Structure 1
Amino acid sequence: PGMRIAVLSADVAAGFPLVNRTSARWASRYPAHWLVPGAHIRLQRGDCAGQVCRELAEVLDRARGNMVDDLIAYRPERVFIDENRRKLFFGGEPFDYLAFLRQDARFAAAWSCYARIGSRRGYGVWARTCGA
């Protein structure tokens, strides 16, 4: 109870049942990262051109920046990362949340405070190792 958690997933059902069952505190401004799959899929498939592709890339940049901002600001004690090969909403396209976040220069320093402690139902579980 009271533990700050974040869930890196586009599936809202991945986070809030956990929060509600454990009385944890949500450590993100978003209930799920819904912006990522649509923009990612369209860019990967080349389903855009010119200005539309630039705008989709901006959506991903903004989503990435917000995710890193939240990691830094909220300092969740546990982070659950969707590692399923077939992620909901990604239409079968592969997606690695950590690789995505590494594109933000601030991420490496923030993530250095986390260690993988296990996995559960397709989600990697990471614990904060630096002081709160």
Structure 2
Amino acid sequence: MFQAFPRVGIPRTLASYEEYVNTVDLLIRCEAFPEPTFLWWDVRPQPRFGTVEVRIMDTQSTVAETAALVALIQSLARLEAQEGYASEQLLASPEVLAENRFLAARDGAGGSLVDPGAACRVPGAPAYTAR
């Protein structure tokens, strides 16, 4: 149901922070929304703190689970920033990203994801075992 609203889900690719600012400023000036926190993207810049928010995960029930997710997100962000880990095919395929988002939410870590390079589904977490 929430997906029916604007400004949710996976944001489009923005080439720079300047492009993000210009896009958001236009929408604010046109009174589409009052301020940037009304972008409910899965991942969004948080200019007030100079950070990036990852908003897709529900609240974790323990500090240890939260710390593990923080470490994972930081590691993935660093890997992408330093090595360009995500394939160009994946980044250029918003439909595949959206489908993988759905599959991950529906099936969890034990599910599979679409790999556009291999043109097939692959395990989301090959070593995952349910507890």
- TM bucket normalised to smaller: under 0.3
**Which structure: larger Rg?**
2
TM-score (norm 1): 0.28
Bigger relative CO (Cα 8 Å, ≥ 6 apart): 1
Q: TM-score, normalised by structure 2?
A: 0.28
